[in-house]
């Protein structure tokens, strides 16, 4: 009887997660595809250097939606892994871990770049400076993350010949050696996950405090203030989502490090890990809503005659129509 009730509860949880993931995935993929469409159509948006990291971030999340999220959909519907094979579990875990860390590190680099754009733009003007502060960090961190997760998950790193137990009825096939092996698991959690999260949260907070502290001086140049404020709002929108989701997860994780047998914290941690998927899916939505150029492009397509109806020309003069 207890197993039957447990199965009903698990099915209800899986069904809820499926619905939530679907509700977030639909607007996310629509916004991501619209961003990609404008990358192709709007040369000015594509070539603007400040937009490049956002474009890369949206492409990574779109790749995640296309190649990783459907496997999660299948699991939540079936209650088991789509293909009962060890190679598929390793592949799913590698893709999932890599894309999660990749999104976090790209957002962290985006945070650092926004700070440089606002307060030290002279350090990122030449091609050499862009290469050092933009392209090289992105390429190196993605190569490192890819190699790290492919090697640690595909190669059996457990000591003493311990072989991991694959659980096809668990999300991501259950824990692997990377999750259980103390030293490398702690390194993965602290450096690959928490470190970029802290960069996003603390970097955004420092940027906001400094902007508020020096806003009078910055507002003297209205053109630069307007451009900087647009970049700041994009970052703060993403940082707010990360703060709301990752801070509780970090707190729960540290509780589990101190007390591994805390059953309630473990249960909460599992739910918060799922919410991080929803957090990533919100990024394309935030990018679209806080990008004035994309919003203007969207408005022109929805209301193509709106601008022409805004004013009525009377002789040499033009008056606004309310």
Per-residue pLDDT tens for 88-135?
Answer: 988 999 999 999 999 999 999 999 988 888 888 888 888 888 888 888
Across 50-75, average pLDDT? 91
Asked if the model's pLDDT at residue 305 lies above 60, the reply is no
Q: Please report the pLDDT score of residue 220 as a whole number.
A: 60
Residues 6+ apart with CB under 8 A from 6: none
Asked if the model's pLDDT at residue 314 lies above 50, the reply is no
Q: Please, are residues 58 and 284 in contact by the beta-carbon 8 Å criterion?
A: yes
Q: Please, are residues 245 and 279 in contact by the beta-carbon 8 Å criterion?
A: yes
pLDDT grade, residue 156 (50/70/90)?
Answer: low
Q: Please report the pLDDT score of residue 5 as a whole number.
A: 47
Across 75-95, average pLDDT? 89
What is the rounded distance in angstroms from the CA atom of residue 205 to the CA atom of residue 213?
Answer: 12
Residues 6+ apart with CB under 8 A from 150: 94, 98
Q: Please report the pLDDT score of residue 104 as a whole number.
A: 94
Domains and CATH numbers, the chain: 17-157+167-296 (1.20.1070.10)
Residue 173 CA: distances (Å) to CA of 33, 75, 80, 88, 176: 30, 10, 9, 9, 8
Q: Please report the pLDDT score of residue 31 as a whole number.
A: 93
Higher local confidence (pLDDT), 207 or 253 = 207
pLDDT grade, residue 312 (50/70/90)?
Answer: very low
What is the rounded distance in angstroms from the CA atom of residue 310 to the CA atom of residue 319?
Answer: 9
Q: What does the DSSP 8-state code read for residue 68? A: T
pLDDT grade, residue 50 (50/70/90)?
Answer: confident
What is the rounded distance in angstroms from the CA atom of residue 286 to the CA atom of residue 272?
Answer: 20
pLDDT grade, residue 317 (50/70/90)?
Answer: very low
What is the rounded distance in angstroms from the CA atom of residue 74 to the CA atom of residue 82?
Answer: 6
Q: Please report the pLDDT score of residue 233 as a whole number.
A: 83
Q: Please report the pLDDT score of residue 262 as a whole number.
A: 59
Q: Please report the pLDDT score of residue 26 as a whole number.
A: 95
And the tokens for 65? Answer: 């939606």
What is the rounded distance in angstroms from the CA atom of residue 66 to the CA atom of residue 75?
Answer: 15
pLDDT grade, residue 221 (50/70/90)?
Answer: low
What is the rounded distance in angstroms from the CA atom of residue 136 to the CA atom of residue 290?
Answer: 27
Across 78-92, average pLDDT? 88
Mean pLDDT of all residues in the chain?
81
Strand partners, 314: 317
3-state secondary structure of 320: strand
Higher local confidence (pLDDT), 117 or 218 = 117
Across 15-43, average pLDDT? 92
pLDDT grade, residue 8 (50/70/90)?
Answer: low
Asked if the model's pLDDT at residue 315 lies above 50, the reply is no
Residue 20: φ, ψ to 5° = -65, -45
Asked if the model's pLDDT at residue 36 lies above 80, the reply is yes
Q: Please report the pLDDT score of residue 318 as a whole number.
A: 42
């Amino acid at each position: 009887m207890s197993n039957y009730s447990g199965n009903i509860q698990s099915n209800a949880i899986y069904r809820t997660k499926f619905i939530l993931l679907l509700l977030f995935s639909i607007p996310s993929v629509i916004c991501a595809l619209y961003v990609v469409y404008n990358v192709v159509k709007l040369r000015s948006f594509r070539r603007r250097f400040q937009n490049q990291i956002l474009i890369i971030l949206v492409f990574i999340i779109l790749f995640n939606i296309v190649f990783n999220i459907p496997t999660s959909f299948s699991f939540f519907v079936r209650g088991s892994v789509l293909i009962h094979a060890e190679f598929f579990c390793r592949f799913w875990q590698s893709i999932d871990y890599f894309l999660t860390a990749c999104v976090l590190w790209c957002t962290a680099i985006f945070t650092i770049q926004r700070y440089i754009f606002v307060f030290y733009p002279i350090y990122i003007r030449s091609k050499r400076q862009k290469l050092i502060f933009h392209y090289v960090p992105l390429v190196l961190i993605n190569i490192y993350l890819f190699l790290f997760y492919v090697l640690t998950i595909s190669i059996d790193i457990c000591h003493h010949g311990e072989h991991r137990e694959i659980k096809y009825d668990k999300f991501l096939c259950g824990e692997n050696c990377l999750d259980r092996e103390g030293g490398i698991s702690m390194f993965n959690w602290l450096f690959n996950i928490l470190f970029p999260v802290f960069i996003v949260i603390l970097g955004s907070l420092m940027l906001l405090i400094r902007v508020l502290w020096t806003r009078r001086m910055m507002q003297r140049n209205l053109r630069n203030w307007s451009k900087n404020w647009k970049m700041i709002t994009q970052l703060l929108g993403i940082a707010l989502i990360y703060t709301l989701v990752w801070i509780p997860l970090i707190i729960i994780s540290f509780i589990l490090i101190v007390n591994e047998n805390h059953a309630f914290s473990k249960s909460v941690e599992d739910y918060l890990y799922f919410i991080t998927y929803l957090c990533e899916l919100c990024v394309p939505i935030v990018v679209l809503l806080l990008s004035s150029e994309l919003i203007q492009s969207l408005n022109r397509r929805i209301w193509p005659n709106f601008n022409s109806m805004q004013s009525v020309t009377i002789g040499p003069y033009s008056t606004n129509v309310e």
